[in-house]
Structure 1
Amino acid sequence: MLAHLPLILLAQATTTPAPPQPAPAEQPDAGRLGTAQQSGGGSGDIVVTARRRSETVQTVPIAISVLGGQALADVGAYNVNRITQLQPSLQFYSTNPRNSAANIRGLGAPFGLTNDGIEQGVGIYVDQVYYSRIASATFDFTDTDRIEILRGPQGTLYGKNTTAGAINIYTRKANLTGFEGRVELTGGNYGFFQGKASVSGPLIDDKLAIRLSTSITTRQGTIYNTRINEFQNSQDNQSFRGQLLWKPTDTLDLTLYGDYNAQNPRCCVQYYVRTGATQRPLSRQYAALAAAFGYSVPSTNAFDRVTDLDTVPLAKQKLGGTSLVANLDLGAATLTSVTAYRFWDWVPSSDRDFIGLPVTTVSANPSQQSQFSQELRIASNGKHTFDYVAGAFYFYQKIDTQGLQVQGSAASRFLLNPTSANASNPAVLNGLTAVNTIGFTNTSAAVFGKLTWHASDAFQIAGGLRVNYDKKDGSYVSVVTTGAGSATLNSDQRGVLAPQSYAPQFDKWNVSGDITAAYTLTRDIHAYATYARSYKSGGINLSGLPLDGANNPILSAATVKPEQVNHYELGLKTQFFDRRATVNFAAFWTDISDYQATVTNGQLGVLRGYLANAGKVRTRGIEIDSAFRPTSRFSLYANGAFTDAKYVKFVDAPCPPELSGGTTAAAGQTPSAAGTAGGISPQNCDISGQRLPGVSKWAFSYGAEYDIPLRIAGTDGQIYLGYDGSYRSKFSSNPSPSAYTNIDGYALSNFRLGFKTKDSFNVFGWVRNAFDQDYYEVLAIQSGSTGLVVGQPADPRTYGLTVSKSF
């Protein structure tokens, strides 16, 4: 059965549409990580809706992977972060839910702290509803049918323009014909517990059905805080999801969705990893600063997993919403309407100095977001000489943020320029407080469509077009007062926390499009070629602006221009040996002008980055994905991605820490060598030709599963052994590549051993990161060019037992 394949298959090829339907019914084999193959041969095709119509995964001319809900449970991939181990081209980085980024092929969002004023390049959709912030998608998967991951620009098919790709999450549909239920319980080390349950059935036969599901995840933290005497980086998530499906006629169905999620973990801490030499005077680098306070961290080995941060970490959020999806079959076409409202409330607390000294005692940006969206689409039914999809989309988002930052008694020594007379006076910065009031509205509207011409049974050409309008309005007001409550600041205080008040605006029309030629060589060999011209909306800076020489905001930096994307792709999809083997290829080249990058200000006290346009970025690569089932009992897969992503031109980038912290070079001065204490630092650095952050040049996922028939207590089933592995090569963890923030390559291995019966009962033991690989999710640098490098170690070895039952 396909349901036994522990596989991700990245599908690329031409299209032979299946009969269109508004959304595919739950498929028995969408339960594994998908490919269109089945033991013993036969079609076994998985149906997807990547192009807003139902097509088989092996024939749609888009680079796409399909992750089935049951397989996600088997491998423990219960959120977006964990599916990166299964999908080589997907990158996900997070220091807390708000500061998260999902990238595909190295593109999507700037690496670093999140700025609400820009768009994400990877669209997140749940049951066809666009989630405007990646943070609002950091929930545990609940009652998931499948996940489709599309790579490359998708703006001519989707409501929101998505220049890097899309992640489509589909939950299981309500059952109109009978009662069904699912229960899954998992326990593991670190006090891990996860419980999931769902029930569905008709309220009125064939007319009205309901589906209810819930999930809870708790786990003790993996990092011990010696100061607060608690484990941190814990998990504490609860979610509830409901669905009503009404089918009043054979041609009309309406589905009302509602969901609510609450998370309240002690998360997320970053702490001491190592130090590196900067160009700041030695007396103001980390070792001397810590010694001046008689301070030392509990351990200089981050994988001892202990810290003494003096701020209680919080990552509390509530998110949810409701949506109505209606499908009307008009005969020749299907009309679809998606109306949705969503909210996200965020209550954080972080230790932004990353050590147990009172440098920054408070750093928090509570935020409340709401969004409304309306999409209307029409798609032709059946296969004709010309098939089409056309739609209109409206989106409105509002965000209110209340920022607070307070400096402590150690701030003067850590943050002020050593030449300042105030550098050794704690009172100058102690209690310095910035209260930031931030408002943002985002309005977007678009019309889009795609027309496919079937020139013959084997050859087709599909062209798409999108006309898009974006308008963003913001307000940023920062009121700064001294520890004594005075609003009169000296230059040192303004250099750390500067009063700012500005109201940036951005609005722009753009037109984008794509064209794809696809050819079916044989029933099981498909090829395609795509060119896309796309845009990522411009934006506004809502994290404060850089300062000029007089410590005043540089207002010209308030807006960021749109990215312009030119994308080229070739794909070949093959199956052979009676579809027991699948091997797919994709090659891509993407050029981006005016790339939106996260940069940092030259002032020593800046804690947050801002956005600017780099000159040009290029990513190119090759993806090879394969799956084999030699026998009905044994399956294996191997997927790989080579991604070469670099800055083609970025001549005025921020400098890495080893070239920062010294006296800024004047005209004609030659900067000092990297790491020269008390040296001369360049005003900016040319990082053209260097790698983009967060992107491994090589990434792989691979695995196998073997099962043997077994009868236990009169019940027939299979005992099975499964393995899933992944590898990522070294990548940079700083917007400007630095020798101090490179993360070494690492390999992970996960095992599972269990017994299952057909579509009913499953029990298995599992171990993840089986060889206890030490690796970092992200690295960062402490503000002020002190040379301190901090990081967030990934999970150690975990193990447990999962029991699930369907009825």
Structure 2
Amino acid sequence: MNMRALLLAGVATLVLATSAHAEQAAIQQTAPAADQSDTPEARSLSGDVIVVTARRKNEAAQEVPLAISVIKGDSIEATGNFNVVKLQQLAPTLQVYTTNPRNTSVNIRGLGVPFGLTSDGFEQGVGIYVDDVYNSRVAAAVFDFLDVSQVEVLRGPQGTLYGKNTTAGAINITTNQPTFDFEGSAELTAGNLNYKQAKGAVSGPITDTLAARIAVANTTRRGTIYNVRTQRWINEQDNLGLRGTLLFKPSEDLSITLTGDYSKQDPEGFGTTFVRVGRTQRALNRQYDALVAAYNAANPTRPYSVPSRNPYDRLTDIDANLNAGNKIGGASLKVKWDVGAGTFQSITAWRFWDWKPENDRDFTGLSIVSKSQNPSQQDQYSQEFRYNQEGEKIDFVVGLFGFKQRIDTQGTEQQGPDASRWSLTGAQANDPSILNGLTATNTQFLKATSGALFGQLSYKVTDKLTIQPGARVNYDKKSGFYQRIVTTGAGAVINCTPAPAAGTVLAAQCGVYQPQNTSPSVSKWNFSYDLNVNYKFARDILGYATYAKSFKTVGINQNGLPLTAANVPDLTASTVKPESVNHYEIGLKTQFFNRLATFNLTAFRTDIKNFQATVNGGQFGTVRGYLANAGKVRSQGVEADFKIRTSDRFTAYANGAYTDAKYKKFVNAPCPPELSGGTLQAANATPDYSQPGVAGALSPRQCDISGQQLPGVSKWAFSYGAEVNTPVTLLAKEGQVYFGVDGNYRNRWNSNASPSIYTEVKGYALTNFRAGFRGEGFDVFAWVRNAFDVNYIENLQVAPGNVGLIAGQTGDPRTWGGTIKTKF
């Protein structure tokens, strides 16, 4: 598909629509007024009607036959869930885990992206859309919501309605749009940990046909982990976001929206704390505690010890530079044109992402890995044409989508003066010059092109029965380049092919970093489809059943490849097969008590063949992680959502999810730490799993983890909230005094690609309170989050080298503060 032609066509749409709308208005015949009694806005009798755009048109959420969670902007602000990462506290089936903005996993029902180190060479299974624009980089999940109207979390495949194929779901974010009446809002928040947040938005007319809206948000907060080496707090927040929108509306049937946004983060992060040590199968004197003891014996004047073995002391001593410089933004042009019985839309967009990280990859205060950084720059272009039409018996949506992306990355990883003692044995361990300054310089790029034709038809067989088939034809092409050059501390370039003789200095250096040069390329056509049948048993009872045949497109390995027995890159691992998805879902949506109460129930099962999984090599050197296909994965479960408003004085909600997501067949998975680090078993031997954590035992070459849970998924997750208020007059102002509570619970989950006894994260429950006074145009409230100061871990990471060190990031302690909001 010619991307340039699609983009030109998108701009041409602007010219065509502007010139044609006057002609259309002139010839348009007078038609009888439509019946407004059954519009989403008019359908509510007593309960609130939540209008969503999940199916690319305005509908009441309760009449959309799919599993969807809707979080309004006011709820997001009141509960302090200011980005997608925090949003999981309100949506139990959403899992978001991040070690830094690039290494972020956004999953729904346990599916979406492989858990572990991020590679640019694969697609997200959960699409993030902001005002109909697809954000290809998951880093968008860590930025503050900016002037958001509402967020819709759609569960299950959405490829026949959304431009970029989404096999696990979509997060559809809608921002507030320009208005032709002047309005504005401002919000100030302050709290402990030197937390400060300011938000503001102004909207209004410029002329009778042109309106504008400007929004800004700024968030700063002291870090939650104290680095005793640098004597400063790390993992801080430092966010700034700007958005500007122009709306040109020359008539009721034509609107043209131009939007630009820019957000940046510049915190010192993301560092880790010591969590625990777990025995591996490496020789005992080559594991963490013994290595530290050996280092101290050799350096009696500067012995090393971790500042605390209790992660909740929130102390670290990591010595490498930390940085998480992060910029994202872009521009979009959206044309919406009512043409006869339907609506035509064109969305032309460009987005960029600039990532400038620095990390400590050894997770210690020793200078083992002295430098680790992989700055990236991304540009993406997308063009979507969409036409939808509603009729008495038939509604349909049809769309054409084009996407082009380029990502350039320049990586540097360097060994420090303590690397030899940590990674080598015998006399070489006492010679720091062997590894000190050894540097791997990586240059890589990715080019990705995607095109799709998609559509969905809704046929009303009767007033109660509707059948909705959908289909998608998709083409993807990816090509990449990866080059690793390795130089010694003296600057000499090394070559590791053929494999150097054992025991030599070169062999030691090649065992840490190996040069590599690959240029993977792959393309693929795919056809997917779905069928939804829904039946309205009564005015407020809707049942539905869905089957979807979907896919996640091909991938390429962009972070290097494993080596063959001949010590050369294994080119068979260059590309990754598409995931083949079969999805089944049934649901029931109900309202009762005169629509004051809502109860929705969903059961689902998703079977995936050739699941794209992360394989972690566990070593400093050749490759830390790459993609491979697991045989089969299954995710199944039940979700329930309940909401009630007994009166204007009380509202409550409770949501729950049971998710059983596991590998059904993964016979050649990487082994967990407890089965790694020893001399490898013979190539044809039956893997022996009987000696986990036994130092010196033979280690399996790969492990069969069939039947084990997928990483990052809690089987049980719940969220709840309630608010009560009473009318009062305070300081001559009429309003309401209110008290609110919200909370969430997730049970245990594992944070390693192959579940490990050392990386199991305990379940936890968080509770938040708020109390305040609000009236016409203002809201003042105090809040406390994690009110009971629960200690919990957000993520665990396995240190390289099979030394048994487990590091992690602790969740926020109790925080408190106050917020003042005003609207005018």
Shared fold per TM-score greater than 0.5 = yes
Equivalent in 185, 192, 195 of residue 189 of structure 1: 192
Following superposition, the deviation at residue 691 of structure 1 comes to: 0.2
The C-alpha deviation readout for 1:255-277, integer Å capped at 9, x for no partner, is 00000111101111122101011
For the residues of structure 2 that align with 1:44 and 1:634, how far apart are their CA atoms?
Answer: 13
Q: Which amino acid counterpart does residue 273 of structure 1 have in structure 2?
A: V
Contact 1:326 1:336 in 2 (8 A): yes
The C-alpha deviation readout for 1:453-481, integer Å capped at 9, x for no partner, is 10011000000000000000100011101
Contact 1:262 1:319 in 2 (8 A): yes
For the residues of structure 1 that align with 2:429 and 2:529, how far apart are their CA atoms?
Answer: 56
For the residues of structure 2 that align with 1:20 and 1:605, how far apart are their CA atoms?
Answer: 68
Following superposition, the deviation at residue 761 of structure 1 comes to: 0.3
Structure 1 segments unaligned to the other structure (5+ residues): 1-17, 28-35
Q: Secondary structure at the match of 1:491?
A: helix
**1:152 to 1:60, Cα distance in 2 relative to 1, 3 A:** same
Aligned to 2:816: 799
Q: Which amino acid counterpart does residue 409 of structure 1 have in structure 2?
A: P
| 1:430 aligned onto 2:446 | no
| 1:151 aligned onto 2:155 | yes
Aligned to 2:567: 551
Instruction: Name the stretch that deviates more: 668-677 or 617-626.
Output: 668-677
1:616-765 to structure 2, matched below 5 A, reads: 616-666=632-682, 667-668=684-685, 671=688, 673-758=691-776, 760-765=777-782
Following superposition, the deviation at residue 632 of structure 1 comes to: 2.5
Equivalent in 95, 111, 117 of residue 107 of structure 1: 111
1:785-796 to structure 2, matched below 5 A, reads: 785-796=802-813
For the residues of structure 1 that align with 2:566 and 2:436, how far apart are their CA atoms?
Answer: 22
Contact 1:154 1:162 in 2 (8 A): yes
Aligned to 2:409: 401
1:22-37 to structure 2, matched below 5 A, reads: none
**1:607 to 1:315, Cα distance in 2 relative to 1, 3 A:** farther
Following superposition, the deviation at residue 488 of structure 1 comes to: 2.7
Equivalent in 270, 291, 294 of residue 293 of structure 2: 291
Following superposition, the deviation at residue 428 of structure 1 comes to: 1.7
Following superposition, the deviation at residue 551 of structure 1 comes to: 3.4
Following superposition, the deviation at residue 602 of structure 1 comes to: 6.2
For the residues of structure 1 that align with 2:252 and 2:800, how far apart are their CA atoms?
Answer: 62
For the residues of structure 2 that align with 1:768 and 1:602, how far apart are their CA atoms?
Answer: 37
Aligned to 2:130: 126
Following superposition, the deviation at residue 792 of structure 1 comes to: 0.5
Contact 1:37 1:580 in 2 (8 A): no
For the residues of structure 1 that align with 2:619 and 2:193, how far apart are their CA atoms?
Answer: 42
For the residues of structure 2 that align with 1:89 and 1:20, how far apart are their CA atoms?
Answer: 38
Contact 2:687 2:703 in 1 (8 A): no
Equivalent in 246, 253, 266 of residue 264 of structure 1: 266
**1:411 to 1:341, Cα distance in 2 relative to 1, 3 A:** same
Contact 1:498 1:551 in 2 (8 A): no
For the residues of structure 1 that align with 2:703 and 2:34, how far apart are their CA atoms?
Answer: 55
The C-alpha deviation readout for 1:52-108, integer Å capped at 9, x for no partner, is 111100010111111111111110011111111000000000000011111000000
For the residues of structure 2 that align with 1:93 and 1:271, how far apart are their CA atoms?
Answer: 17
Following superposition, the deviation at residue 422 of structure 1 comes to: 3.1
Aligned to 2:312: 303
For the residues of structure 2 that align with 1:727 and 1:20, how far apart are their CA atoms?
Answer: 45
Following superposition, the deviation at residue 549 of structure 1 comes to: 3.3
| 1:539 aligned onto 2:543 | no
The C-alpha deviation readout for 1:524-555, integer Å capped at 9, x for no partner, is 10000000000101110011111223432211
Q: Which amino acid counterpart does residue 134 of structure 1 have in structure 2?
A: V
For the residues of structure 1 that align with 2:564 and 2:417, how far apart are their CA atoms?
Answer: 26
Contact 1:707 1:721 in 2 (8 A): yes
Aligned to 1:481: 487
Following superposition, the deviation at residue 190 of structure 1 comes to: 0.3
Identity, % of aligned positions: 56
**1:79 to 1:731, Cα distance in 2 relative to 1, 3 A:** same
Contact 2:687 2:702 in 1 (8 A): no
Following superposition, the deviation at residue 42 of structure 1 comes to: 2.2
| 1:345 aligned onto 2:354 | yes
Q: Which amino acid counterpart does residue 446 of structure 1 have in structure 2?
A: A
Q: Secondary structure at the match of 1:283?
A: helix
Q: Secondary structure at the match of 2:63?
A: coil
Aligned to 1:201: 204
Aligned to 1:164: 168
For the residues of structure 2 that align with 1:469 and 1:415, how far apart are their CA atoms?
Answer: 45
Aligned to 2:69: 65
Equivalent in 523, 526, 534 of residue 507 of structure 1: 523
Following superposition, the deviation at residue 443 of structure 1 comes to: 0.1
**1:776 to 1:319, Cα distance in 2 relative to 1, 3 A:** same
Following superposition, the deviation at residue 631 of structure 1 comes to: 2.9
Aligned to 2:470: 464
Equivalent in 595, 598, 603 of residue 582 of structure 1: 598
Q: Secondary structure at the match of 1:293?
A: helix
The C-alpha deviation readout for 1:744-763, integer Å capped at 9, x for no partner, is 000000000000013x1000
For the residues of structure 2 that align with 1:562 and 1:179, how far apart are their CA atoms?
Answer: 50
CA-based RMSD: 1.8
Following superposition, the deviation at residue 138 of structure 1 comes to: 2.3
Aligned to 2:342: 333
Q: Which amino acid counterpart does residue 395 of structure 1 have in structure 2?
A: F
Q: Secondary structure at the match of 1:658?
A: helix
Following superposition, the deviation at residue 423 of structure 1 comes to: 4.0
For the residues of structure 1 that align with 2:753 and 2:818, how far apart are their CA atoms?
Answer: 40
Structure 2 segments unaligned to the other structure (5+ residues): 1-32, 297-303, 496-505
The C-alpha deviation readout for 1:571-603, integer Å capped at 9, x for no partner, is 001111111211110000000000000012265
For the residues of structure 2 that align with 1:20 and 1:389, how far apart are their CA atoms?
Answer: 22
| 1:388 aligned onto 2:396 | yes
Following superposition, the deviation at residue 424 of structure 1 comes to: 4.1
For the residues of structure 1 that align with 2:64 and 2:375, how far apart are their CA atoms?
Answer: 42
Aligned to 1:495: 511
Q: Which amino acid counterpart does residue 257 of structure 2 have in structure 1?
A: T
For the residues of structure 2 that align with 1:339 and 1:604, how far apart are their CA atoms?
Answer: 42
Following superposition, the deviation at residue 137 of structure 1 comes to: 3.8
Following superposition, the deviation at residue 608 of structure 1 comes to: 2.0
Greater helix proportion: 2
Aligned to 2:418: 410
Q: Which amino acid counterpart does residue 653 of structure 2 have in structure 1?
A: Y
Contact 2:47 2:594 in 1 (8 A): no
Aligned to 1:77: 81
Contact 1:380 1:387 in 2 (8 A): yes
Q: Which amino acid counterpart does residue 464 of structure 1 have in structure 2?
A: G
Contact 2:616 2:753 in 1 (8 A): no
For the residues of structure 2 that align with 1:114 and 1:57, how far apart are their CA atoms?
Answer: 34
**1:19 to 1:784, Cα distance in 2 relative to 1, 3 A:** farther
Following superposition, the deviation at residue 216 of structure 1 comes to: 0.4
Aligned to 1:33: none
**TM-score scaled to structure 1, two decimals?**
0.94
Aligned to 2:300: none
For the residues of structure 1 that align with 2:156 and 2:436, how far apart are their CA atoms?
Answer: 49
For the residues of structure 1 that align with 2:415 and 2:571, how far apart are their CA atoms?
Answer: 25
Aligned length: 771
Q: Which amino acid counterpart does residue 496 of structure 1 have in structure 2?
A: V
Following superposition, the deviation at residue 37 of structure 1 comes to: 10
